[in-house]
Amino acid sequence: MDRRPLDYPFSYVRIKNGGLALYKSMFGSIPNTLLTLVILYFLFQVARPLADWLVFNSVVLPADARQCLDANGACWAFVQLKFRTIIFGRYPTSEQWRPLLSMSLLIIGLVLTADWRQWSKKYWKKFMCILWICILIADGTLMTGGLLSLDYISPDRWSGLPLTLIMAVFGILLAFIVGIFVALGRVSRLPVIRWFCLIYTELVRGVPLITLLFMTVIMLPILLPEKLEIHKVLEAQLAFVIFFSAYMAEVFRGGLQSLPRGQFEASLALGMGYYNTVRKIIFPQVFRLTIPSTVNTLINAFKDTSLVVIISMLDLLGTTQAVIKDPAWFGIFMEAYIFTAFIYFIFCATLSWYSQRLERHFRLSRR
Amino acid sequence: MHYEPVISFRSVNKYWSDNHVLRDITLDIRKGEIIVIFGPSGSGKSTLIRCINGLENIQEGRIMVENIPVQEELGTLPQIRLRVGMIFQHFNLFPHLTVLENCTVSPRLTLRMKRAQAEKLALEHLSRIQINHLAERYPDELSGGQKQRVAIARALCMQPHILLFDEPTSALDPEMVNEVLNVMIELANSGMTMICVTHEMNFARKVAHRMIFLDGGRIIQDDTPDAIFSDQAVSQVSQFIKSIQSHRS
């Protein structure tokens, strides 16, 4: 029999004869067989009604609310009718190609950025800076309109998935960059900078995100000159960047501290100054070390964009909550939530899958 | 041999809070000299050489390297570090860069060398110590001896005038010590100014011009190897040598 050590190290190493090993672990001995049968029985007990509800008894179009309420299953007809509203919210129907295009640009940008095979190419960083500035301008123009013969759409009507994605992606990008500087400030030798960054992170982390959102929405117009009317999305964005940069800073600081001091010393002894040392030696390693906790924070940030409901903006969750208030379909809401949860899940799962691939890439090729 | 000192310590004192680490160190090192610093652990050997390139600062006295004062406030450290290379006990290679990149990163960034030129120089140094075939590997794939040789090549790529060795062989398995020492001997014969903190007494006897015994942050004896290994040695020094040699055998 093939006995592997208990601490068989890497899950990405495929075990040979996987099917046989699985069979042995399930039915290898009498207790194992009994246990397997008991577990399978309970799984079946749960799975059958679930499948009935989700698939076999579900109601799809054409159908009305009456049929849905009478049926013993999920009312997918409701989602089919409302999915456009859930995704685009209050954005005018005839113009919904604009947020769709904006989202596509964001996703293309993310995919291009994520491709690690390009990272060592010569002009990658410059290309990325230009690309993201272009996406920012393009998305802003597309969504707002008012020029290039596009109708003006008030920021109040931005909603649904496009709003969630725009806030999450740009918020996370900026928080990431600000976080690097705050983390460096926390380990700076200049006491003023160190104390400033310490107070910043502690203050921000000590306050709920909702409070910060309220504060930017209420305080910013007071602080800024009266004529300057600031875009509401930008206000929310500012709150996100402030909030998550503090968390990112702590993640990066953890990485900085786990790096041996010798790395810093060796780099300085080679004549590299502080800037080059941080840029070429310290942070590339910090990013690698902190992938799991960075992704953790990013997923949190993505999901926490739903808190903008509090300042009366309708993100993906907000549009879902608006949709289920339709009196014609009173009493049907679970299906809409499942649909929305599924969208959130796809984004978060992709992020987490990518981070695992990235970790494996670094483990196999770099270290 | 030039008589103008390239490194000079004048009444240097260093404290770590109330711990007096270096006591009144006065020392001249001339160009091309090979100095071995030894002494019991905690005697301030590493601190002493780390002061030369400003990794540690001093509270009193003055250190000059090629007539430039080593003092952070004067902003001279970058110039000093271009002239002084350092090899560490734990190698401190950059694990996210290949051997070749380890050797070229600083020449390209601080000496503004072109990539091709920096790589050519790096390969020259790597082949001089017979590890050019490892250029594309990552540090984790190397043995300890290979790592330390890469660290030496990396320091050489900056074309320093002076090399500092901070216990270069103490983290190595015994069978790898010699491959590193041989590189150091070759460097010594090429006329490089070297200051080595090491307990390799055979190496010291073979190549050192002077040996400095440090204890409690004070220079106890500063003399030629011949004197140190003869009955001219201070009793404390000969006892120490006896103790490390009996331990070795």
Q: Which two tokens stand for residue A267?
A: 């780099």
Give B20's strand partners: B15
Q: What is the pLDDT of residue A12?
A: 46
B148, with CB counted inside 10 A (0-12, 13-18, 19+), is buried
A312, with CB counted inside 10 A (0-12, 13-18, 19+), is exposed
**In the predicted structure, residue A11 carries a pLDDT above the cut 50:** no
Q: pLDDT per residue over A198-252, tens digit each? A: 999 999 989 998 888 888 888 887 887 776 667 778 888 888 999 999 999 999 9
Structure-model confidence comparison of residues A328 and B88, the more confident one: B88
**In the predicted structure, residue B42 carries a pLDDT above the cut 50:** yes
Q: pLDDT per residue over A50-95, tens digit each? A: 888 887 777 777 777 777 777 777 788 778 878 888 888 888 888 7
Q: Which residue of B has its CA nearest to A362?
A: B96
CB contact under 8 A, A269 and B86: yes
Q: pLDDT per residue over A250-274, tens digit each? A: 999 999 999 998 999 999 999 888 8
Range of weakest confidence among A69-73, A194-198, B188-192: A69-73
CB contact under 8 A, A269 and B55: yes
Q: Please, which residues have CB within 8 angstroms of residue A173's CB and are 6 or more apart in sequence? A: A132
* Closest C-alpha to B156, from B197, B134, B125: B125
CA distance A363 to A360: 5
The string of DSSP codes covering chain B is ---SEEEEEEEEEEEETTEEEEEEEEEEEETT-EEEEE-STTSSHHHHHHHHTTSS--SEEEEEETTEE--GGGT-HHHHHHHEEEE-TT----TTS-HHHHHHHHHHHHS---HHHHHHHHHHHHHHTT-GGGTTS-GGGS-HHHHHHHHHHHHHTT--SEEEEESTTTTS-HHHHHHHHHHHHHHHHTT-EEEEE---HHHHHHH-SEEEEEETTEEEEEE-HHHHTSTTS-HHHHHHHHHHHHHH-
Q: What is the DSSP letter of A276?
A: H
Q: Which residue of A has its CA nearest to B154?
A: A270
Q: Please, which residues have CB within 8 angstroms of residue B189's CB and are 6 or more apart in sequence? A: B207
Q: Are B63 and B142 in contact, with CB atoms under 8 Å apart?
A: no
A192 touches chain B (CB under 8 A): no
CB contact under 8 A, A272 and B105: yes
**In the predicted structure, residue A9 carries a pLDDT above the cut 50:** no
Q: What's the whole-number average pLDDT of chain A?
A: 83
**In chain A, % of residues over pLDDT 90:** 21
- Bridge-based pairing of strands B5-16 and B60-65 is antiparallel
Give pTM, 2 decimals.
0.82
* Closest C-alpha to B53, from A278, A279, A263, A267: A267
**In the predicted structure, residue B224 carries a pLDDT above the cut 50:** yes
Question: In B, what residues contact A, Cβ < 8 A?
Answer: 53, 55, 77-78, 81-82, 84-86, 88, 90, 92-96, 105-106, 109-110, 138, 140, 151, 154-155, 158
Residues of A in contact with B94 (CB under 8 A): 263, 266-267, 281, 285
Residues of A in contact with B90 (CB under 8 A): 260, 262
Q: pLDDT per residue over A341-365, tens digit each? A: 999 999 999 999 999 888 888 876 6
Structure-model confidence comparison of residues B111 and A4, the more confident one: B111
pLDDT interval class at A15 (50, 70, 90): low
Structure-model confidence comparison of residues A73 and A287, the more confident one: A287
Helix (H, G, I), strand (E, B) or coil at A243: helix
Q: Which residue of A has its CA nearest to B151?
A: A266
Element spanning A124, H or E? helix A124-144
Mean pLDDT over B210-235 rounds to: 87
Residues of A in contact with B138 (CB under 8 A): 366-367
**In the predicted structure, residue A367 carries a pLDDT above the cut 50:** no
**Distance between start and end Cα atoms, chain B:** 37
Give the one of A262, A271, A367 whose C-beta lies nearest to B110's C-beta: A271
Q: pLDDT per residue over B145-177, tens digit each? A: 899 999 999 999 999 999 999 999 888 888 888
CB contact under 8 A, B106 and A273: no
pLDDT interval class at A317 (50, 70, 90): confident
Range of weakest confidence among A15-24, A241-250, B40-49: A15-24
Q: Which residue of A has its CA nearest to B141?
A: A367
Q: What is the DSSP letter of A72?
A: S
CB contact under 8 A, B110 and A270: yes
Q: Are B87 and B165 in contact, with CB atoms under 8 Å apart?
A: yes
Range of weakest confidence among A63-77, A85-99, A116-130, B62-76: A63-77
Residues of A in contact with B84 (CB under 8 A): 269
What residues 276-295 of chain A have any CB closer than 8 A to a CB of chain B?
A: 276, 280-281, 284-285, 288
Q: What is the pLDDT of residue A51?
A: 86
Mean pLDDT over B82-104 rounds to: 91
Residues of B in contact with A270 (CB under 8 A): 81, 85, 105-106, 110, 154-155, 158
Q: Please, which residues have CB within 8 angstroms of residue B249's CB and are 6 or more apart in sequence? A: none
Range of weakest confidence among A9-23, A151-165, B36-50: A9-23
Distance from CA of A367 to the nearest CA of B (A): 6
CB contact under 8 A, A276 and B109: yes
